[in-house]
Structure 1
Amino acid sequence: MPNFKSYDYNQTAMVVINFEEQLQPNTFEYTLHHLISNRLDLSAFNDKYKNDKGGRSAYDPAVLLKIILFAYSKGITSSREIMWSCETNIIFKALSCDSVPHYTTIASFVSSYPDAIEAVFEQVLLVCYQEGLLGNELFAIDGCKMPSNAAKEWSGTFKELKQKKHKIGKQLKHCIKEHKKCDRRRSDEKERAKRLAQSIETLDKAHKKIDEFLKTESPRKGQGKQQKEVKSNITDNESCKVKTNKGVIQGYNGVAAVDKKHQIIIDAQAFGEGQEYHTLKPVLESIKDRYERLDISDDIYKDDVIVTADTGFSNEDNNQYLIDEAINGYIPDNQFRSRDPRYKGQKDKYGKRHQDTKIGIKEVIPSSEFTFNLKKKSCVCPAGNAMWLRDEKKMSEGKLKLSFEGNLTDCRHCDIKEQCMRNPASADHRKGNGRQVSKTFTVKPTATDWMKKRVDSPYGKQVYGHRMSVVEPVFGNIGTNKGLNRFSLRSKAKVQGQWRLFCMVHNIEKVMRYGEMEKERAQKVA
């Protein structure tokens, strides 16, 4: 039998540890420790501390920022788990100098300093610029929609919330009535009475919660020109309902602008609007102001930097804004693929993307087979019959929509009505309708037409081809590697602070891998 030395994992040991030596060069924790200790100014956190003349001493913001950013880099988002790591993990102990902040202190730090977090985010961006990580040639903008700490069941217009309040009130009255009927002398009635009492308490809280919200808040308006009412949320009224590939969620859209050279995030904001096109202008203005504030460029867009974003950011107002501000932007509309000859046979090869939505709907002769004349405002159907002008509507600046309908007698006796009409039998009725078709004309060139020409050009296609490879890996790193799949805070300011912390982790990783000064420092230490 071999003779091995005995060992026991279930034991404790007194070990002399130098915390500085645990932070090895060329690691994220080493770069994080060096940046915060030597290159970042954290005085923005000091304003809320009022214990200089008395009171208990507080944890240094540098310590809290180090352990939080390191935890985020490892996919740890829970404040309790960060606290536990400070007790058991040697790297956390080294970064915190063997201090163990309470989880409430950690959670409060993340949610209480959104402005200070923005200041630190800008300083990290300046370090990236000093390290030569910014190319300032192409910026890619995109959004990442994630749920927040609010349930969509508590969303609705004020009319819907009043109806919900009335419904809960009726249920509450019914439960109170049934509770009074219970004979508590019987054992089965005691259990029922207990359940009813719990239901009454829950319903009463919900009723008061809605009632208080309706009394103190006003209806939330959308970002459109008509300022229509949108759904409010009782829990977090700055969040919104957004559509994702996993369904409708209640949350925020974390928008990031990324520099192409090393995928550095140059701007990070959270928005509580469902549509992305409302976010383009604030992001572009924020980038311009930040670059001027950091003395990187007086006007970055005059340096002919390229700005690209996906189709969700495209509309007439945004395209006009790019023209007015002389921004070299490439933002395609949602039909740009259909105009690209490279995708001409895609539907025949792979089928339509949303086949389930058209189950049971008859395919008819498309409007492209009809002959339209804008000057005469006329239309001729594939059978050669003239159609009458049913409606004329101005859609937007430079756009005119003409709607036509076939004469009932022509459609009734037409040889191809079975292929042309979804319900050919309607033409046989006296009060039926002929085939209806419409077309939108461009009366004068618009900003959207200007953008279409740019995106459809060979150079525009080449430029837009870089967008996905620039911004999508950033979201993959933050979402998959760092584990951010939902925002745990409430209100736009707090969510934006959390979003910037994760984006800061991404940028510090880039400094660790590609920063020349950091590499030289790490080599000297090693």
Structure 2
Amino acid sequence: MSNFRSFDRHTAYLLPPSVDDWLPQDHLARFIVEVVDGLDLRSMVNAYGGRGSAAYHPSLLLSLLIYGYATGVFSSRRIERATYDSVAFRFISAGAHPDHYTLATFRRRFLGELADLFVQVLEVAQEMKLVKLGTISLDGTKVQANASRHSALSHGHIEKMEAQLQGEVQELLALAEQADQSNVPDGISLPEEIQRREDRLKAMAEAKTKIEARAKARFEREQAQYQAKLAAREEKQKKNGRKPGGRPPKPPTAGPKAKDQLNLTDEESRIMPVAGGGFEQSYNAQAAVDADSMLVMAPAVTQACNDKEQVEPMLAQLAALPESLGKADTLLADTGYFSAKNVAACEKAGIDPHIAVKRENHHQPPLARFAEPMPITEGSTPVERMVHKLQTQAGRTAYALCKQTVEPVFGIIKSVLGFRQFSLRGLDKVSGEWALVCLAWNLKRMAVLRPKSAQWA
């Protein structure tokens, strides 16, 4: 007698099976469908002209994309394949199988609408009593662009390659003009070789023009900052009656630098240093995360390697959120965001900033972590006030939340879901895709927090 359970793969069902019966009631796919079906998708629906064959409804395609990004399936081809292989994807698509071209086109077409949908999902979270703006953690992470750094050309390298290619073109032209071409190797086509080099020279000339335009814009920006610093020093000298200390600001240099680069695959991406050392063709993805719920309240993408200029744009995004979500009262950020200007911007917005001034040493003496600093004097600078705040027990406790909120969000998105590279190219499209990633994270997180909400249950 066998001790194994019997099984039969060949006997047909007496009645057609229901995918709905195969998916648990608390499954993430059900939650995403329920939330998406409640969103206002009129802008997407009205975009369809009604011509040709019947289209898939935006709610179906959007649910497939969100569930795909929430479970680490980012490729439209893999999502299409999953509608055959996965019970959850079959449930979302209601047994239909949108092809990868339809999914990819839908994603590109409606990236602009994701900002509004992102806010709508936050309002759903507020209705579920899962989020209320208060303490916000801000950080950035480098995400690789859909381009290789080996496709980048620097201004200095272009100048060297131009001279080399022009010399090769002249050499090939001289060979082509010879009546006796016995020196030409068999199989080589001189016109094709000349055309190939001329095409490369044309591409290099276009890249060089764009690099020079970037350099001009950078010089104008740096020149304005230089003039502002000079004016501030002069004002300080008039006020104090003595020459300001420190070195005077250094004037910017016009023109492109030899290391200024342009990527031929994705021109708007930049070479950036990445964690663990080295450089990659990347974008700097930003996220403002609610400290209590770990929901992303505002996503953004920038081409800047550092985070210094990202505080004010993020404050503007937080201020634009609906009043029903509340108002942020505290901002936590690491030393990459610190500047006197950013501190002043937070205070002007009515937000208490906790931004590290410098990196602290690990393994401090036991008593040092519990000691309170001396009271701060009147008329102190923003830097002095921030240093004092982060030395207090309350300041240290508040700042410690930073590593417990936004960094785990990035860790899960990149290491658990596997989102380490954008699928799209260009700053606008990449920004839309990052909003989709954060939207998927928020719904995934809301599904986990859902049991705490008696109203939603």
Aligned counterpart, 1:277: 308
Distance 1:125 1:212, change over 3 A: same
On the 8 A contact 1:128/1:515 being kept in 2, the answer is no
Aligned partner (choices 410, 426, 432) of residue 475 of structure 1: 410
On the 8 A contact 2:129/2:453 being kept in 1, the answer is no
On the 8 A contact 2:139/2:334 being kept in 1, the answer is yes
Aligned counterpart, 1:63: 60
Aligned partner (choices 84, 88, 101) of residue 87 of structure 1: 84
Residue 311 of structure 1 pairs with residue 335 of structure 2? yes
Aligned partner (choices 296, 308, 317) of residue 325 of structure 2: 296
Post-superposition offset of 1:108: 2.1
Distance 1:169 1:95, change over 3 A: farther
| Alpha-carbon displacement from aligned partner over 1:282-320 (angstroms, at most 9, x marks no partner) | 11110111234xx333xx24xxx2110111111232123
Post-superposition offset of 1:141: 0.6
Residue 40 of structure 1 pairs with residue 39 of structure 2? yes
Distance 1:263 1:335, change over 3 A: closer
Aligned counterpart, 2:214: 219
Aligned counterpart, 2:116: 119
| Counterpart residue identity of residue 42, structure 1 | L
TM-score normalized by the length of structure 1: 0.68
Residues in 1 aligned to 2:173 and 2:11: alpha-carbon distance in whole angstroms:
59
Distance 1:455 1:20, change over 3 A: same
SS of residue matched to 2:301: strand
Aligned counterpart, 1:380: none
Q: 1:381-420, aligned counterparts within 5 Å?
A: none
| Counterpart residue identity of residue 325, structure 2 | I
Residue 129 of structure 1 pairs with residue 126 of structure 2? yes
On the 8 A contact 1:340/1:456 being kept in 2, the answer is no
| Alpha-carbon displacement from aligned partner over 1:441-464 (angstroms, at most 9, x marks no partner) | xxx843222221222222211111
On the 8 A contact 2:151/2:263 being kept in 1, the answer is yes
Aligned partner (choices 194, 201, 212) of residue 207 of structure 1: 201
On the 8 A contact 1:135/1:260 being kept in 2, the answer is no
Aligned counterpart, 2:373: none
TM-score normalized by the length of structure 2: 0.77
Residues in 2 aligned to 1:127 and 1:202: alpha-carbon distance in whole angstroms:
56
Residues in 2 aligned to 1:338 and 1:22: alpha-carbon distance in whole angstroms:
51
On the 8 A contact 1:79/1:106 being kept in 2, the answer is yes
Q: 1:441-456, aligned counterparts within 5 Å?
A: 445-456=380-391
Distance 1:313 1:95, change over 3 A: same
On the 8 A contact 1:310/1:331 being kept in 2, the answer is yes
Q: 1:483-494, aligned counterparts within 5 Å?
A: 483-494=418-429
| Counterpart residue identity of residue 280, structure 1 | V
Aligned counterpart, 1:17: 17
Percent of pairs identical after alignment? 23
Q: 1:231-250, aligned counterparts within 5 Å?
A: 231-245=261-275, 246-250=277-281
| Alpha-carbon displacement from aligned partner over 1:59-96 (angstroms, at most 9, x marks no partner) | 21111111111122221122211111123323212211
Residues in 2 aligned to 1:169 and 1:310: alpha-carbon distance in whole angstroms:
50
Aligned counterpart, 1:495: 430
Distance 1:336 1:69, change over 3 A: same
Distance 1:296 1:70, change over 3 A: closer
Aligned counterpart, 2:445: 510
Post-superposition offset of 1:269: 0.8
Aligned counterpart, 1:254: 285
Distance 1:2 1:118, change over 3 A: same
Residues in 2 aligned to 1:210 and 1:46: alpha-carbon distance in whole angstroms:
43
Residues in 2 aligned to 1:119 and 1:311: alpha-carbon distance in whole angstroms:
31
RMSD (Å), alpha carbons? 3.7
Larger Rg: 1
Residues in 1 aligned to 2:88 and 2:363: alpha-carbon distance in whole angstroms:
54
Distance 1:338 1:91, change over 3 A: closer
Distance 1:477 1:325, change over 3 A: same
